[in-house]
Structure 1
Amino acid sequence: MSTDDVAVGAVVRYPRTGTTGKVLRVEVIDGRQYAELDSTGLYYRVDELIGADRTAGKVEREDRSLEDYLEKRKELKEQLEEVWEKGIDQSCEGGG
């Protein structure tokens, strides 16, 4: 897929992770083009994306509101903090 083919609304896939989504915006950052995907909210280098027409299978995405996304993020953050606090006993053990 050429960088000219990546436009807002295009459905693309990032082959390294299998992430598929619709392009929300295209921006130039440090001289490179990046596309934000609706499925993750993350930016991907345009030259590493392929068109969804070249992917196998049907792509399904769960519609979530911004509030749902923020709530899920908050829950994950709390879980990570809990694991961090409980999982580390402050000891400094070395191997061998």
Structure 2
Amino acid sequence: MAEEPSAVDVDGAPIAIGSNVRYIKTDTIGEITDIKTDDEGTWALLDTTQLYYRVDTLQITEKKANAGKEYTISEEDIKERIKKQAELAQTGTLEEVFQATGGG
């Protein structure tokens, strides 16, 4: 039986097959189904995308992907996102939103 390579996430937390992780660049959530190491580093396969990610770009999370391969967002997360969008809308000007470009 092959031994699973030891791996840690971006925060130094140990990860293994079955760990729920978040890809920090796109917030993709998934469960690790395979871990392998090559000359370029240690890689983990996510079930939701069927792609390998370097383990130093993954972060352990308690969020889980649902059957539709998306993660569930809590009510608190939604409220926080709406609040941030409203704050951004208040700081912007109409000119920043509607840039006039083109010719004619």
Give the TM-score band, short-chain normalised. 0.5 to 0.7
Structure 1 stretches of 5 or more lacking a match? 64-96
The correspondence of residues 54-65 of structure 1 with structure 2, limited to 5 A, is 59-62=65-68
Structure 2, unmatched stretches of 5+, are 1-8, 70-104
Q: Match for residue 53 of structure 2?
A: 44
Q: What percent of counterpart residues are identical?
A: 36
How many residue pairs align between the two structures?
59
Residue-by-residue CA offset, 1:44-96 (whole Å, 9 max, x unaligned) = 0001100113x6xx642327xxxxxxxxxxxxxxxxxxxxxxxxxxxxxxxxx
Shift of 1:29: 2.0
SS across alignment from 1:9 = coil
Consecutive aligned runs of 4 or more in structure 1 exceeding 4 Å deviation: none
For 2:43 and 2:23, how far apart are their aligned partners in 1?
12
**Cα root mean square deviation, aligned:** 2.0
Deviations 1:10-44 (A, max 9, x none): 00000101111000010002240000000000000
User: More helix by proportion, 1 or 2?
Assistant: 1
* TM-score for both structures, normalised by structure 2: 0.50
**TM-score of the aligned structures, taking structure 1 as reference length:** 0.53
